[in-house]
Chains A and B, each alone.
Chain A
Amino acid sequence: QVQLVESGGGVVQPGRSLRLSCAVSGFTFSSYDMHWVRQAPGKGLEWVAVVTYDGSKKSYADSVKGRFTISRDNYKNMLYLQLNSLRPEDTAMYYCAREYSGTHPRDFFDYWGQGTLVTVSS
Chain B
Amino acid sequence: QLVLTQSPSASASLGASVKLTCSLSSGHSAYAIAWHQQQPEKGPRFLMKVRSDGSHDKGDGIPDRFSGSSSGAERYLTISSLQPEDEADYYCQTWGADFPWVFGGGTKLTVL
Contact = CB atoms under 8 A, between A and B. Distances in A.
Interface string B92-112: 010111001111111000000
Contacts of A112: 36, 43-46
B91 A108 contact: no
B46 A47 contact: no
A94 to B, nearest CB: 10
**Size category of the binding interface on chain A:** 20 to 34
A99 B30 CA distance: 21
Grouping DSSP codes into helix (H, G, I), strand (E, B) and loop, the A interface class, with mixed when no group exceeds half, is: strand
B91 A44 contact: yes
Contacts of A45: 36, 44, 91, 93, 103, 106
A46 B44 CA distance: 12
Interface string A47-79: 100100000000101000000000000000000
Contacts of A44: 91, 103-106
Interface of A: 35, 37, 44-47, 50, 59, 61, 95, 97, 100, 105-115
